[in-house]
Structure formats: C-alpha cells, structure tokens
Chain A
C-alpha cells in the first residue's frame, strides 16, 4: 500500500508538472521511455532470477498448487474478455492486456504504454492499482463467502508481497506459502503475457 502510494504519486507529479507547464518541452517519454524499458525489463529479470525464494518455492510444490495461479489466470482473462466484449471502446486484445497485469501495475502500465498507447497504459495503471486496493479492503469479506483461496485470487501478482499480510490474516498461516507461490508465478507471467497479447497478429 505504501509503495503503491509512492509510485502513484510519481505518476501524479508528472501529470501535474506537465499540466501546469512547469517542465520544459525537452523531457520526452518517447525518447527516454523506450530505452529505459529495456533496462527495466532486464532489471526485473535480474530480481526474478536472483530470488532464491522463488526458485525454491517453484521447485518444491506439486501440481495441485500450480492450479491456483492457473485458475487465477483463467478467471482474470475470462472477466476481462467479458468486459471487452461489453464495452465498445475496448478491443478484446486491449481488455486482456490490461487484465494480464494481475495487479502488477508498475510493470504492466509501462509495458502497455510502450507497446500500445498512453491511454491504455493509464487504464492499466489505474485498473491494477484498483485490484490491489480492492484486495486489501475486501479480502475479509471475500474469504468469508468464497473460501480461503479468494484473497489469493483477488490479489493476483500482489499476493506475494503487498497483499500478503491481509491474506495471511484472513486465510490463515498455512495459506501464506500458497499466496507467495501464486504471486510469484503470476508476477513471472505478467511481462510475457502482456507482450505476447499485444504483439499477436502484428
């Protein structure tokens, strides 16, 4: 929650600076963004590859546990596809790409901005922040009515860190490891899925 506030405030600061005309025209997303994105993806890779925990968790669990992130991917894509088919302003591809952030708003919004458009990047930023905040607020209710996997499902990629405390509290300690596992798998999937979705058919 704290980190999402920090990240969101950087975005808002950028909007405010530009809108008020304080910044010179020389600061340019197109020039800096494309370049920094490769660095960002590379560094995201380093932190994934260098995380002892994630390899350990991935190596020591059976198929049953793998069904958790799989179910979340399926449910998320089905939900996003439904929305995209109802809202005339969104194509199927756009809806799926935004949903595939699984709450990992920083990486998915930057990636979508670069691969698609600024407006869809902002949709992704907001939508995935909403997913995190809603999980923080609703997990107690979701767990009560939909079972102990509900918080993990709602949290998506954030279930490994930012929403882990609330999930552990309401689903129980034995679900913490499942939550971390599912979050790690989804976090790993985000860059691949978003890139593949937005580049299919091009």
Chain B
C-alpha cells in the first residue's frame, strides 16, 4: 500500500465520520480546491522552467488530444452496446 493510497483511505474514513458535520466538510472542500490551484500553479512553474517540456509542447498536446479522442471513442462505442442491450425501452405498442 503506497502512502498516497493510505492518505486517500484515511481521508475517506475521516469523511465518513464527518458525515453530519457539513461545516467541517465545506471547509475541507474549500481547502481541497485551494490545494488543487496551488499544485497546478506549481506544476505550471516547473513546466515553464523545464526546457525539455517547453520545447515539446506540440508533441505533448498532440498525445493528449489523441488519447482523449480514443478514450471517448472507446467508451462511447461500448456504451452503445450496453444501451441497446439493457437500457433502451422496447418499442411500445400504444398509439
């Protein structure tokens, strides 16, 4: 078990204990957004300093786009199968 997953599990347990404490949860969610902002700013800073990443931005963007398109295509196609097998209502016989 990695420290990262342990932190996550510890958080889930604490969250369960705090189910009836909406104010604490609200604070925690706020702190979560703030740390996301900070980490992405820091990621930006080190990317901006990283010559290797900066000179490869085109390639990085291309890979990102292709993975996004393939992920969407794969899941949409499989979901079509699921939809037609289990979710679409049979045609009704009413007028």
B92 within 8 A of A: no
Q: Are B15 and A51 in contact (CB under 8 A)?
A: yes
Contact with B along A33-51 (1 / 0, CB 8 A): 1001111111111111111
Determine which of B29, B37, B67, B87 lies in contact with A99 in the assembled complex, contact meaning CB atoms within 8 Å: B67
Interface residues of B in 68-82 (CB under 8 A from A): 68-82
Per the bound structure, the CA–CA distance linking A80 and B75 in Å amounts to 10
Q: Are A14 and B15 in contact (CB under 8 A)?
A: no
Q: Are A67 and B3 in contact (CB under 8 A)?
A: no
Q: Are B38 and A46 in contact (CB under 8 A)?
A: no
Chain A nearest CB from B85 CB (Å) reads: 9
Q: Are A79 and B72 in contact (CB under 8 A)?
A: yes
B interface majority secondary structure: helix
Q: Are A15 and B15 in contact (CB under 8 A)?
A: no
Interface residues of B in 42-91 (CB under 8 A from A): 42-50, 52-54, 56-57, 59-61, 63-84, 86-88
Q: Are A14 and B45 in contact (CB under 8 A)?
A: yes
Contact with B along A94-123 (1 / 0, CB 8 A): 010011001000110111011100110111
A interface majority secondary structure: helix
Which residues of B have CB within 8 Å of A195?
A: 2, 4-5
Determine which of A8, A11, A30, A50 lies in contact with B15 in the assembled complex, contact meaning CB atoms within 8 Å: A50
Q: Are B67 and A123 in contact (CB under 8 A)?
A: yes
Knowing A38-B4, A110-B36, A149-B83, the reply to whether A47 touches B28 (Cβ < 8 A) is: yes
Determine which of A119, A126, A127, A153 lies in contact with B79 in the assembled complex, contact meaning CB atoms within 8 Å: A153
Q: Are B56 and A43 in contact (CB under 8 A)?
A: no
Q: Are A49 and B43 in contact (CB under 8 A)?
A: no
Residues on B close to A: CB < 8 A?
2-5, 7-19, 21, 25, 28-29, 31-32, 35-50, 52-54, 56-57, 59-61, 63-84, 86-88
Residues on A close to B: CB < 8 A?
6-8, 10-19, 23, 27-30, 32-33, 36-52, 64, 67-68, 71-72, 74-80, 82-83, 87, 89-90, 95, 98-99, 102, 106-107, 109-111, 113-115, 118-119, 121-128, 130-131, 134-135, 138, 142, 146-150, 152-154, 156, 191-192, 195, 199
25 contacts between A and B (CB under 8 A): A11-B43, A17-B45, A18-B45, A38-B3, A43-B29, A45-B7, A45-B13, A45-B14, A47-B15, A47-B25, A48-B12, A48-B15, A50-B15, A52-B19, A64-B86, A67-B86, A71-B79, A75-B74, A80-B67, A83-B67, A110-B40, A122-B60, A127-B67, A147-B83, A191-B5
Interface pairs A-B: 8 shortest CB-CB: A45-B11, A14-B44, A49-B15, A18-B48, A79-B74, A75-B75, A79-B70, A147-B83
